[in-house]
């Protein structure tokens, strides 16, 4: 898979304002600040296609990107963003749930998890919920440049154990870093495989 062109399409505030589901979509999801927008920029080779911020909860919309005029990458809002307004948090979660369960063009959900930490309850619960939806997923462990390989592997193994219930050999797993560019080639070829 080679990304020759990538352009921003639109930001949707809810499922009703998403573009028509006419082409396959791959969606990025994960806790706020895990590196969804950064990974999107790494994959497309465009430094500021998606907005990156050190302020958690920056991406509070569903952002659609047109890739090669053949498929879309979708940057979903971060979950687990503890904004003071409780109803805001729930609104974003509804938006995520509605998109994932209702989007006919969705091919794969890439769940990003910060490789620096031992399993976080909200990530475990989110992945367990996804397992129940039957939507195909992959796990992407981000920011591997921040730790040595051994603790990264320990965190991955602990996460797989905490989520459990995997059929056969479990989900595809990737390790990524925007600093070392680890995982870029692997993820791009995976995307080529899963797209129709
Ligand atoms: N060291 C390192 N930092 C990273 C990596 N990926 C992202 N970051 C940093 O983590 C912060 C958050 O990155 P974003 O890409 O904005 O994260 P996000 O998941 O899109 O965040 P929200 O839109 O708020 O949900 C930024 O300061 C990034 O520079 C990585 O692989 N390595
Ligand atoms: Mg973002």
Q: What pLDDT digit, counting tens, does each position of 98-145 carry?
A: 999 999 999 999 999 999 999 998 899 889 888 888 899 999 999 999
Mean pLDDT within 82-105: 68
pLDDT at position 90 is 41
Contact 32, 81 (CB under 8 A): yes
Residue to substitute in 40, 47, 52 for testing ligand 1 pocket (most ligand atoms within 8 angstroms of CB): 52
Mean pLDDT within 154-164: 95
Higher-scoring residue by pLDDT: 125, 44: 44
Contact 65, 9 (CB under 8 A): yes
Q: Which residues pair with 113 in a beta bridge?
A: 141
Ligand 2 centroid – CA 171 distance (Å): 23
Residue to substitute in 31, 33, 60, 89 for testing ligand 1 pocket (most ligand atoms within 8 angstroms of CB): 33
Mean pLDDT within 14-30: 94
Mean pLDDT within 64-86: 80
Q: To the nearest whole number, what is the mean pLDDT of the chain?
A: 88
Ligand 1 centroid – CA 168 distance (Å): 32
Which residues have CB under 6 Å of ligand 1?
Answer: 30, 32-38, 52-54, 56-59, 78, 142-143, 145-146, 177-179
Helix (H) or strand (E) holding 73: strand 71-75
What's the half-sphere exposure (Cβ side, CA atoms, 13 Å) at 37?
A: 22
Mean pLDDT within 38-51: 90
pLDDT at position 92 is 47
Q: Which atom of ligand 1 is nearest to the CA of 52?
A: 16
Higher-scoring residue by pLDDT: 145, 89: 145
CATH number attached to the domain at 6-194: 3.40.50.300
Kindly report the number of other CB atoms within 10 A of residue 191's CB atom. Answer: 21
Mean pLDDT within 61-87: 80
Q: What is the pTM of this model?
A: 0.92
pLDDT at position 56 is 56
Q: Which atom of ligand 1 is nearest to the CA of 59?
A: 23
Ligand nearest to the CA of 52: 1
pLDDT at position 83 is 46
Ligand 2 centroid – CA 49 distance (Å): 11
């Amino acid at each position: 898979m080679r990304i020759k062109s990538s352009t921003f399409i639109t930001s949707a505030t809810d499922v009703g304002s998403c573009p028509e589901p006419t082409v396959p979509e791959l969606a990025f999801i994960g806790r706020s600040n895990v590196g969804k927008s950064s990974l999107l920029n790494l994959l497309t080779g465009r430094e500021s296609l998606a907005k990156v911020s050190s302020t958690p909860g920056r991406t509070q919309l569903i952002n659609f990107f047109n890739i090669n005029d053949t498929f879309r990458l979708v940057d979903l809002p971060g979950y687990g963003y503890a904004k003071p307004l409780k109803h805001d948090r729930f609104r974003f979660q509804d938006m995520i749930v509605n998109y994932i369960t209702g989007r006919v063009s969705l091919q794969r959900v890439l769940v990003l998890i910060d490789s620096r930490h031992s399993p976080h309850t909200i990530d475990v619960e989110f992945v367990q919920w996804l397992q129940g939806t039957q939507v195909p997923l992959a796990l992407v462990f981000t920011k591997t440049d921040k730790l040595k390989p051994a603790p990264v592997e320990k965190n991955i193994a602990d996460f797989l154990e905490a989520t459990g219930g995997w059929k056969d050999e479990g989900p595809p797993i990737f390790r990524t870093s925007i600093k070392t560019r680890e995982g870029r080639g692997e993820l791009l070829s995976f995307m080529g495989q899963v797209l129709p």
